[in-house]
Amino acid sequence: MAALAASAAHVPPIKWAQRKDSLFLTIDVPDMANEKVDLTPAALSFQGETDDTTYAFTFDFHASVVPEESVWKVHGRNVLMHLKKAEVSDEHWPRLTKEKQFDKQYVATDWSRYVDEDDEDDDAGFDVGDLDGAANFGGGGYDGGGYEVDDEPDSDDDVDLTDLDFPPAGGEGVAEEPPQGEDDEATVAPPPVSASDPPVAEEPAATATSTDADETPAPATET
């Protein structure tokens, strides 16, 4: 398939960079709508619209890619694509497409992501932070390769709380009473006194009797 642009459509600016195992494409069109993207191992087709312009193109890659491991995401000012190469090679592709004229006219190097193939061993790879939540070309979210996936539960109802320890209700916690030994006697508090209960008469204090008092001998009288 030769690279082509529909006669009634414009070809948007395309920037690209590569690593040994992947490509990073940026299609610069702000406020894109009605995007249609078709990726095969051999070619990429794109179509989108703005308020007054229709954009479209189709081209063959210089070599094959893997659609199942490739993703794309629409941003406010551009469309980003991270495409996996079918073959990892120490030598970079000489250009993005098979058609030299298409490459020369519409494709530019993304210098912000460019790394020379001789320096790639010291490179950490593409920064794919802008592709978090990206869709793969088979539909749905991408679940690997450095892209984040939202695995958090939607509500507290989905959280297993069986292994969590909670303090007793009513405060930060209630101190446990120390265990009583078998020989320990529990102190019993006296029952509360009600106002309707009759008063309990107090027993009179015991008085000393003559028998209880100390006997003092009378003084002897002289005869």
- Tens digit of pLDDT for each residue in 51-107? 889 999 999 999 999 999 999 988 888 999 999 999 998 899 999 999 999 999 999
pLDDT band at 196; cut points 50, 70, 90: low
What is the per-residue pLDDT for 132?
76
pLDDT band at 154; cut points 50, 70, 90: very low
pLDDT tens track for 5-25: 545 689 999 999 999 999 999
The proportion of the chain whose per-residue pLDDT surpasses 70, expressed as a percent, equals: 57
User: 136: which strand partners?
Assistant: 71
* Residue 198, number of CB atoms within 10 A of its CB: 5
Listed ranges 7-16, 106-115, 196-205; the one with the highest mean pLDDT: 106-115
Tokens of 161: 């709380």
22 compared with 199, residue with greater pLDDT: 22
| Distance between CA atoms of residues 17 and 26, nearest Å | 9
CA atoms within 13 A on the CB side of 83: 29
Rounded to two decimals, what is the model's pTM? 0.59
| Distance between CA atoms of residues 174 and 162, nearest Å | 21
| Distance between CA atoms of residues 79 and 34, nearest Å | 12
What is the per-residue pLDDT for 58?
96
Asked if 92 and 117 count as a contact pair (C-beta separation under 8 A), the reply is yes
203 compared with 44, residue with greater pLDDT: 44
What is the per-residue pLDDT for 97?
97
* Predicted confidence (pLDDT) at residue 36 exceeds the cutoff of 50: yes
Q: Quote the mean pLDDT of the chain.
A: 74
65 compared with 50, residue with greater pLDDT: 65
pLDDT band at 147; cut points 50, 70, 90: very low
Residue 42 Cα distances to 12, 45, 65, 85, 120, angstroms? 20, 10, 7, 11, 25
What is the per-residue pLDDT for 155?
45
